[in-house]
Structure 1
């Protein structure tokens, strides 16, 4: 069946309820496809301070953040895992407060993505509504951070749970397990889709123009070689030529907009 895969489950739930139980179901299903070792990271138990909005991580780098907490340790855990599961119940039509603090605290990764070799599965539970919106939000976060989105699982878990809903949940989580297992087994990342290509070119347009405004971001992109001519994506992987053409057009439009909005004074 292959070597055991290390899975980090980052959960925004404040207690061991439906989200935890569904993650355990997922673990059992995954083990039927591929050997996995789960590590749960309970955001409620870690020292993760709210973002202060000082922007120092953008201008000077994340090392300059005034919050001295567990963020470096959490990032290291994500780097060491073969796959990451982002799991949260729906609170107020969004992720939980714990999950939002986590996402905000790592906002510098939106500017300096890094998890291109990692697969992720997104899981949301709700009593009635909101799981679709939450999964879309988590998809955006994980995609911009560099993760390959291997699957999404949205589960409606009212109490009591009707039999028809239980069957739908079982089908959804079984499908997610198979998708995640398949991605973990695959030695190479799947090719980027149009959204990924537009994201790359849009960001390249921005960060190539803001060396003075955001030097840490600019230097990161330069060091990664992403400003070099001919680079089509964050990593060396086949890119659909039509997507590439659309991406270049988006980059051209975005670059001119950035110059107009931020770098050219009214007098000019």
Structure 2
């Protein structure tokens, strides 16, 4: 089994996130060999932020100024049977370098490359914020094609207390077993209503940007997605698909008539 790890911290095993990843990998290895490829987002050198130049969208990912620096992360994700995204919670969200990593792979929202590949999510925090951090990661990597098969949020200081540590150990045991099963026998889940809406919105973006982004259009055309209801052959539930179609129709009308409204909360 090949496990890819994208870790949103440069502390390695000296930090709570790194130690938790090691604990999880150790448990997975009890059931058989695990080859681990890992990258720390701190080490990628992606700069203070994504420049938002959109070159990755319009000209292809190779046009990104940070293409070579991001290459180790691409390799980890490409070669893995399952990818584990792990981050500490910083101010109720993912770490800054994990966010920077996600931003630099924004083209995957338009050209998802990991359809059918399982992912797992892990976070550590001194307090709260797991819901926001893990929720954000789940949404982001789903747009890249991954489907999340397990997640775990752990309170770092709480690990010093035996009762809490025992609960975390039990959760790690369960997670390790489920991740190995998902990696060795991957089964893509049926897309949800949100998934199907996301597919249609992505298609709208690609269709509307054919002139500015022919790379996206070529990618979709090669895969037959313009004439599909989903990215793969996974069964598409009828009712959710009808709901997604209605949402798409409403969005198309809003774009055509200019009647879309700004978000006001």
Give 1:21's aligned residue: 19
CA distance in 2, matches of 1:43, 1:79: 16
Structure 2, unpaired ranges of 5+: 260-265
Give 2:235's aligned residue: 238
Give 1:138's aligned residue: 137
Q: CA deviation at 1:217?
A: 2.4
Q: CA deviation at 1:121?
A: 0.5
CA distance in 1, matches of 2:212, 2:80: 34
User: Residues 78 and 175 of structure 1: is their aligned pair in 2 closer, same or farther, counting only changes over 3 Å?
Assistant: same
Asked if 1:77 corresponds to 2:76, the answer is: yes
Give 2:115's aligned residue: 116
Q: TM-score, normalised by structure 2?
A: 0.88
User: Residues 190 and 46 of structure 1: is their aligned pair in 2 closer, same or farther, counting only changes over 3 Å?
Assistant: same
Q: Which has the higher helix share?
A: 2
Q: More displaced, 20-29 or 175-184?
A: 175-184
Q: CA deviation at 1:98?
A: 1.5
Give 1:8's aligned residue: 4
Q: CA RMSD in A?
A: 2.0
Q: CA deviation at 1:84?
A: 0.6
CA distance in 2, matches of 1:92, 1:172: 25
Q: CA deviation at 1:72?
A: 3.1
User: Residues 258 and 76 of structure 1: is their aligned pair in 2 closer, same or farther, counting only changes over 3 Å?
Assistant: farther
Q: CA deviation at 1:44?
A: 2.1
Residue 116 of structure 2 contacts residue 186 of structure 2 at CA under 8 Å; is this kept in 1? Answer: no
Structure 1, unpaired ranges of 5+: 263-268
Residue 6 of structure 2 contacts residue 39 of structure 2 at CA under 8 Å; is this kept in 1? Answer: yes
Q: 1:87-102 counterparts in 2 under 5 A?
A: 87-102=86-101
Residue 7 of structure 1 contacts residue 39 of structure 1 at CA under 8 Å; is this kept in 2? Answer: yes
Q: Note the alpha carbon deviations across 1:157-196, whole angstroms, 9 max, x for none.
A: 1167222322332233233223312211324322222222
